[in-house]
Amino acid sequence: MEKHDLLHEFPEHQEKIHELKVSDSHFRKLFDEYHEIEHQIHRINMGSEIANDNFVHELKAKLLFIKDELFAYLNK
């Protein structure tokens, strides 16, 4: 199962991601939350964690919302 960390999702923004992680606490919080949810979804998909379909759907929706917010940060 493929992981979707931000550096793979936005390879063209690697430098800006690093810069914002260090300089912007809100970006860092969103970044950390994104990766926590992404790892949880990955564990569920790999069978390491069990979750019902509604919960997985909610996690994926939240992940997309955070990803959109992070993308907006990167394009400022």
Cβ atoms of 31 and 6 closer than 8 Å: yes
pLDDT for res 7: 84
> Mean of the pLDDT values across residues 52-63?
95
- Check: pTM over 0.85? Answer yes or no: yes
> Mean of the pLDDT values across residues 53-63?
95
pLDDT for res 2: 61
Cβ atoms of 67 and 34 closer than 8 Å: yes
Contacts of residue 48, Cβ cutoff 8 Å, sequence gap at least 6: none
pLDDT for res 25: 97
Cβ atoms of 75 and 41 closer than 8 Å: no
CA distance 20 to 63: 19
Q: What is the pLDDT of residues 15-53, one digit of tens each?
A: 999 999 999 999 999 999 999 999 999 999 888 888 999
